[in-house]
Amino acid sequence: MKHARIGKSCLIASALCAVLAGPVLAVDTARLQRFFTLMDADGDGQVSRPEFQFGKGAVFLAIDEDGSMTLSQNEMRLTPESFKQLAGDDGVVNGEEFIAAEIASFYPIDKNQNHLIDLAELTAYIAKYSD
């Protein structure tokens, strides 16, 4: 169960940033910057855990291109296999699933453990899950 939770956290972190493009996964720095900015409420260039948690809702809405209040594979830009793991049998990720799964991934992203995430840390974390 612990490994499944970590796996879901990694997948949702990738989706959170919406930086994975098409069948070949690659970090899209412009999109990553956009979603980082959504989370960085005070504009100091760092995202605290409260900003991260609060910002997830804004990021969810930004990713939800069709306004359905669910995220499809295309909107999340994950591989089919990764999306299926996250979405389960219903084939979509709702806001509650998105927010709940993401909480656990703050600390793995915070590489220097200073309780703040900067763009470089987020980019490095996402790059580990990208080709």
Instruction: For 32-74, write each residue's pLDDT tens digit.
Output: 899 899 999 999 999 999 999 889 888 889 889 999 999 998 8
Q: Which domain holds residue 70?
A: 2-127
Q: How many domains in the chain?
A: 1
pLDDT digits (tens, 9 = 90+) for 76-101: 877 777 777 778 789 999 988 888 76
Collect all residues with Cβ–Cβ distance below 8 Å to 25 and sequence separation of at least 6. 79, 129, 130, 131
Quick one: angle between helices 49-63 and 2-17, nearest 10? 70
Query: Is 0.85 surpassed by the pTM of this model?
Result: no
What was the pLDDT predicted at 79?
72
- Cα(5)–Cα(101) distance, integer angstroms: 8
Three-state DSSP class for 10? helix
The string of pLDDT tens digits covering residues 106-123 is: 888 999 999 999 999 988
